[in-house]
Amino acid sequence: MSQKTADVTHRLVPSPAGRIHLVEQGTGPLVLLVHGFPESWYSWRHQLPVLAAAGYRAVAIDVRGYGRSSRPASPDAYRMLELVADNAAVVHALGEQSAVIVGHDWGATIAADSALLRPDVFRAVGLLSVPYAPRGGPRPSEVFAQMGEEEEEFYVSYFQEPGRAEAEIEPDVRGWLAGFYAALSADPMPAPGVPGPHFVSRGGTLRERFPTGPRPGWLSEDDLDFYAGEFERTGMSGALGRYRNMDRDWEDLAGFDGAPITQPSLFIGGALDASTTWMADAIKAYPTTLPGLVSSRILDGCGHWIQQERPSETGRLLTGWLASLPAGAHPC
């Protein structure tokens, strides 16, 4: 089932989730784009025409739990193995055998694990914002619990209890999204001494840590309306399901402890993004963990929402990397 809108085609394809909604533009080798939290296929709106113009079939999905994709009721339906299966199903539903996969935020982790678990399908992988870090160490919930303090808890721990974050977000989805996007953006920067949004006071809300002031320059009113409309319709539980499966992922991926991703790869991080700074050791380990790394770039003055804060630069880096891939790494 497909629908043409402007220069892009909306399509629903079957997957283990039930259906995945995707938006595609262009013809040529397939490049699958995977968004993060709390986002949408729409997060790749700037890159779709750029990739299409460069001779690629650019396809941005709604991850299961988001947008027009299926939202399974079972909490464990959002484990990584299921999301990887969705991505492989999308490639095959589009009549292809392989693809390059690119992800941002949670989408970067999903893309990395797709390349790790299905190297027969995903021939190259691009990661935005969140570096690749192989499975290993203690159970994630134990790590995140230790990151909190007596008066605060880490935001990932805050997201664990079903219904808790939803009760904060869903009464005012638009306002919450605006604050969350601003909190992780380079523009506007939070005032000195203001606590960041990665920790929540005991009994408090994440919203209390959001900056006040204008929305980020990259986020228009129409953009915010689109995102808010999606989550007002779907609710937040499907999106938050990703956070609630990190321990299951740790168990499921035990056989891949410390495993490198060997396909050609790309990393783009923002210099002002906590994901880049907190995981600096993961980036330093790339010679071991990403031996096929073609390029690693840290963008000065950029926050977390890389492909929206720096759309032109992201498009240039992606198309340059794609053009550099050896013939065998291109989708057939």
Here the tokens at position 306 are 């890389």
Here the tokens at position 323 are 């053009």
Active-site annotation holder among 62, 86, 105, 252:
105
Q: For the range 247-250, what are the long-range contacts, defined as Cβ-Cβ under 8 Å and sequence gap of 24 or more? A: 247/139, 247/140, 247/141, 248/76, 248/79, 248/80, 249/79, 249/80, 249/81, 249/135, 249/140, 250/135, 250/139, 250/140
Q: Is 281 a catalytic residue?
A: no
Report whether 125 contacts 98 (CB < 8 A). no
Active-site annotation holder among 35, 104, 198, 304:
304
182 Cβ contact partners less than 8 Å away, ≥ 6 residues apart: 188, 210, 211, 213, 215, 216, 219
Q: Is 76 a catalytic residue?
A: no
CA distance 266 to 37: 20
Residues catalogued as catalytic? 105, 304
